[in-house]
Structure 1
Amino acid sequence: MKKIAVIGGSGFYEFPELGRNESVSQMTRFSDTPIELRRAVLTGRSVFFMPRHGSAHHCPPHKINYRANIDALAALGVDAIIAVNAVGGISDACAPGNIVLPDQIVDYTWGREGTFFDEFEDEMCHVDFSYPLQSSFRKQMFDCLGREGLKVISNGVYGCMQGPRLETAAEIQKLQRDGCDLVGMTMMPEAVLAREKNISYLSICVVCNWAAGICSTKNTAEENDSQVAPLSVDDMKAVLEEKITKVRTALISALTLV
């Protein structure tokens, strides 16, 4: 029976819906300190929970030890990851409050430790990453999110930026031209490291805001100012708080169905 890990993003630091659970510490060669997780059993299946930024959101996106996190999950025998990511919306369908299950990634990050294959040994280790977000949980997750009254989009392109600052309007225009529907900071190298460990990876993206400058095209016709109000972190948090509880409930429903 598969072991599953849920990786919580911004606003998702605890998972009380798991019910009875225990603390698990896993050492990895990529960290001097153990990786701390929670483990529960749902319908006979081990489910691990890992808050990506730490329980107090102390680690910014570019400083997360992605290799240690994924290596720890692999060592625990995890077969599938369901990750939750807070994102900005770029395309019309990806409005604040909507949930997107993206199927493609464009990586704009730099300087992150993005592979387990630091040296080639017997052969070159180039993993196929053509379709980065394949998962047997996609349909169940889509259905369970919908049953919670959430508007869910079943595909999209996630543009992963370096952070921790938010993007300029010109950068978002570039992402839009590149075909990105969403912008975030944490899916890479997390997703490719999972692929290198042969762990399936599905992302649930909670759209918290329109990306920089995009809101100018979504405003009412009578709003003619070329300048757009700065993005509000408080507004983003409010959307997350409203949606994350439903996402957690949907996760439990999906995990007990498979």
Structure 2
Amino acid sequence: MPARTSAKASRPRKPYELFYWPGIPGRGEYVRLALEEAGAPYIDVARERDTGMEEMTALLEAEGTKRPSFAPPFLRDGRVIVGQVAAILFYLGPRLRLAPKSEAGALWTHQIELTITDFVAEAHDVHHPVGVGLYYEDQKKEALRRAEEFRGARIPKFLDWFEAVMDMNGATKRAPHLVGKSLTYADLSLFHTVDGLAYAFPKTMGRLLRSRPLVSSLHAAVKKRPSIKAYLKSDRRQPFNENGLFRHYPELDK
């Protein structure tokens, strides 16, 4: 399959190579959304190459690099290999024009992204509170207790922080941004996190978003952006499922 590109790409270039597990959107989706929004050419290696999984495994085992990533996702741009979502987006941000030009603005965007990373980790740990190597069915009792605290305290705390950040940024329902006056990768990441939580906890998020108008508006606005809208309708967008970060178990959502 050829690498995707669009009229938004400023010049022809060698495609970025994104390494992530096939079959789930997962953490790799945060990187995909930035690449798709920017119209940047990229290859989703494990999905698009017959040897993709072997290539990814080799890099994880340090056969192909002296700086191996702990786990996917990681991005290869020529000789540069970057792992961890926040680090990948910090690298891509200025290259895709999805980050402020000033050092202070770039670091603030990175800080927001790291907070989103914390939020996502807590969402994942709701259905795997004891250990990632155990099945959900092996830790359902603990998951029920963890879900109650996540729904009642942690989701509201994170959403309130993002709402306050947007308010201090001067965001409005018509122009909802976390940083500055234009879209950044942090906006895309918050969109996907809210989208994932709405899948996993539809009842909870339905209630909470009603009193967080800026976060709700950001989610709606990103979903309508032409590049993102087209991507969400394409077969490149993998649906949420019960093997990924955001999982819908009805008993965990009240």
Query: What TM-score do the two structures reach when normalised by structure 2?
Result: 0.26
Query: What TM-score do the two structures reach when normalised by structure 1?
Result: 0.26
The structure with more strand, counted as a fraction of residues = 1
The higher-RCO structure (CA 8 Å, 6+ apart) is 1
The structure with more helix, counted as a fraction of residues = 2
